[in-house]
Chain A
C-alpha cells in the first residue's frame, strides 16, 4: 500500500507539472503520457492481459478504455485525472474494506488461542483443539477460558460478555460449569474439560456467525443479479451514445459524443453496491452477535426487520420455568409474610414451632408453615416441592432431614411426613379431604382466582394454611413486550399449555393481550398456522421459544428464535436466531438492529444507484466531465463502505 501511495504521488506530481507547462505544446504531451503510464500502467497491463484471457467487461479494461479513449481524442488532463482518481479511490476502498475486515475479525476475537493443558505434571500451552474430554486445564487470571469445562479447584468470577453480550460477571467455584470464550477474572481456576473444542459453545457460535453470510438476504441477491446486467447495459449504452447521435447530428460531433460515452465507462463498475450491501448485512450480523443475538443469515435479518406478529411461548421464555412460592396464607385466609429470616438455632425454633402448633393449630405463624412444609416435602421431586424448599432456604432456613420420618409421596395429591413430632400433610384439596382437614371458607375466598398451584397444609390432621406456588415471570418480560410495542409490532401473542386463568394472569402482568392457553405441543403449530393466515402478506411471523418441545414451531415461523442457546444444541440447530442469554427483551433489541441494518443497506442502494444515475444523465447531456464521474463513482463506493460499517455498532 505504501508503494502504491508513492507511485500515485509521483504520477500526481508529473501530472501537476504537465498542467503548469500548459496544454498544447509537445513538452506537456510527453509529461501527460508519462503521468498516465506511472499512474495507470498496471491497469493498462491487466486490461490487455485480460482481453487475451477472454474477459472483456473487466473493470480494468473499461477504465483503461476510458482513459486511453480520452487520451486519443486529445483530452490529456481528463485521461490522467480519470486514472489518478480511480486509483486513489481504489486505494481508499481497499483501506475501508481492510478496516471492516479487521472489525469483523475482532468480533471473532472470542476464539481462545491456547489452553494450559496438564500433561502429567507439566503444564503445556497447547491448541484448544488438541484437548480431549476429561483433560485437566489451568486458567490463569485474565485468560480466556479455552474449553467448556467444569471447575475442579479454585474460585473466581467469569465475564460472559463475549458469549451473551452481558458483562455481568458470574461467580464460579468448585463444580461450576465454564464456557469456552468467556474471560476469567482474578482467580486461578483448575478445570476438567467436558467437551472437545469442536463441540464447545464458542466453536459453534463462531461457526454460525462465519457461515451466516452464506444465507443471503433478498437485497444481496438483488444486487448480485443487478451487477450482472448493469455493466453490459452501461457499456451498450456507451456504444449507442457514441454512434447514434452523430448519425443524426453529423459525424463532426463524433468526438464530443465519444467523450460522453467514455464517461459512461467510468461509472460502469457496480463495485460500490457489490461491496457495501453484503457488508451492511455482515456488519449487522456481527453487531447482533456482539450483543448476544446470533442470527443465521442476512435473510433472517430482513425478516426480523419486517416483523408483524411476535409469538412467545410462555414457560421458559417469558417465565423462568422455575417455580416459586409467591403467597403464604394462614388458616384465617390472611396472607402472611415472613418478617424475619430463620435463626440459626434450628432445634429451638422447631421446639417453638411445635409448641405453637400444639397451642393454636390455627393462625400459625408463616414461618412455621413454610418450615414444616419444606421438611414434609423434603424428599419430593415435584417442582412445587422444590420451590417450597428453595423458599425456605432463601429465608435462611436449613433443611434438616433427620427431623423427618415416614415421608410419603402421595401421587397426584401431595406428600405427608412426621416432622419433629408433628404429622404434616401438604398437598391439594383432594388430600385435605382425604385426611379430613376442612379448608376454611376464608381461605377459599382468598384463593379465588389465584394463579398457580396451591399447596394446602395440615398439622396433625387440622387445616393450617396454604402456599401458592407459581412460575416466576422473567424480570424483563414486561420490558420485552413494551419494547416490541414501541417498535410497532401489531400482534404480540402468548402460547401456553397452562390453564386459561393462570395464562391470562401472566399475560396481563406482562402486557400481552392475545393469549392461547391449554395448548398441547402439536396444537401450537396449528395456532401458529392460524396466526399466519391472519397476518398481512409482507409482514413476518416471529416465534420465540426455549427450544424444548417447540422445534416444529421454530421451524414453521418466518424466524424461529430460541432463547438461552448456550445450553441447548437442539435449540441452536432448530432456530434461525438464538438469544444467548435468557432475556426476552433482547428480541426487541434484535429487531431494532435488524431494521437499522436493512435501513443502512437500503441507503446504500439508493445512494449508490442514485449517484450513478445522475452521473449517467449528466454525462449523456455533456454537463459532467469524466473526472467528476470517476470521483463520484469511487467516492460513492468509499462512502457506502463507511456507511455499511455503522451496522457493526
Chain B
C-alpha cells in the first residue's frame, strides 16, 4: 500500500536523505522516497502494520530534524 504524506518545515536536504533511509529501513517498508523540494513523502509498506510504520516514521522525522513534522 502506498501512502503519500507531507513533511512541514523541512529545512535540511541531507536530513531528508537520512529520513528517507531511516524510514526505508523500517520493518514492512518496501520503499520510501522523500522530495526535499516539495516535502512530499511516498511510503510503500505492508498494509497491516501501516499504523505502526507511520508512527515510527513520525518519530524518525522528529529525531533527525527537530523542527520538521510529518503530517499524517
Contact = CB atoms under 8 A, between A and B. Distances in A.
Do A and B assemble together?
A: yes
Interface of A: 46, 49, 53, 55, 59, 94, 97, 100-101, 104, 210-211, 213-214, 216, 224, 227-228, 269-271, 274-275, 278-279, 282
B71 to A, nearest CB: 15
A100 B4 CA distance: 22
From A49, A214, A224, A269, name the one whose CB has the most chain B CB atoms within 10 angstroms. Answer: A214
A101 to B, nearest CB: 6
B63 A274 contact: no
B69 interface: no
B12 interface: yes
Given A274-B17, A275-B36, A211 B42 contact: yes
B42 A214 contact: yes
From B17, B42, B66, name the one whose CB has the most chain A CB atoms within 10 angstroms. Answer: B17
A104 B17 contact: no
10 A-B pairs closest in CB distance:
A213-B35, A275-B13, A214-B33, A274-B13, A274-B14, A214-B42, A282-B37, A224-B17, A271-B14, A274-B17
Given A211-B4, A213-B38, A214-B35, 12 more contacts: A49-B66, A101-B38, A210-B38, A210-B40, A211-B40, A213-B35, A213-B40, A214-B42, A227-B17, A228-B21, A274-B17, A282-B38
B13 A278 contact: yes
A94 B13 CA distance: 11
Interface of B: 4, 11-14, 16-17, 20-21, 33, 35-38, 40, 42, 63-64, 66
20 contacts: A49-B66, A55-B63, A94-B11, A97-B37, A104-B38, A210-B38, A213-B33, A213-B35, A214-B40, A214-B42, A228-B17, A228-B21, A271-B12, A271-B13, A274-B36, A278-B13, A278-B37, A279-B36, A279-B37, A282-B37
A213 B14 contact: no
Contacts of A278: 13, 35-37
A104 B13 contact: no
Contact of B33 (A55, A94, A216, A270): A216
B33 A59 contact: no
B63 A53 contact: yes
A279 B21 CA distance: 19
B6 to A, nearest CB: 10
How would you classify the secondary structure of chain B's contact residues: helix, strand, loop or mixed?
A: mixed
Nearest to A46: B66
A590 B14 CA distance: 30
A278 B36 CA distance: 8
Contacts of A282: 35, 37-38
Contacts of B36: 274-275, 278-279
How would you classify the secondary structure of chain A's contact residues: helix, strand, loop or mixed?
A: helix
A270 B14 contact: yes
A213 B37 contact: yes
Contacts of A104: 37-38
B57 to A, nearest CB: 16
Contacts of A275: 13, 36
A227 B14 contact: yes
From B11, B16, B36, name the one whose CB has the most chain A CB atoms within 10 angstroms. Answer: B36
Contact of B37 (A53, A59, A100, A211): A100
Contacts of A279: 36-37
B38 to A, nearest CB: 6
B19 to A, nearest CB: 12
A274 B17 CA distance: 8
Contacts of A46: 66
B15 to A, nearest CB: 9
A94 B10 CA distance: 11
B25 to A, nearest CB: 12
Contacts of A269: 14
A221 B31 CA distance: 14
Contacts of B4: 211
Nearest to B36: A278
A213 B16 CA distance: 13
Contacts of A55: 63-64
Nearest to B41: A214
Contacts of B40: 210-211, 213-214
A228 B64 CA distance: 14
A101 B17 contact: no
A265 to B, nearest CB: 15
B33 to A, nearest CB: 4
A279 B37 CA distance: 7
A444 B37 CA distance: 66
A100 B13 CA distance: 14
A59 B12 contact: yes
A50 to B, nearest CB: 9
Contacts of B42: 211, 214
Contacts of A228: 17, 21
From B11, B38, B40, B66, name the one whose CB has the most chain A CB atoms within 10 angstroms. Answer: B38
A278 to B, nearest CB: 6
Contact of A59 (B14, B16, B20, B66): B14
Contacts of B13: 271, 274-275, 278
A484 to B, nearest CB: 31
Contacts of B16: 274
A282 B13 CA distance: 14
A278 B35 CA distance: 8
From B13, B14, B35, B37, name the one whose CB has the most chain A CB atoms within 10 angstroms. Answer: B13
Contacts of A211: 4, 40, 42
Contacts of A227: 14, 17
Contacts of B11: 94
A286 to B, nearest CB: 9
Contacts of B35: 213-214, 278, 282
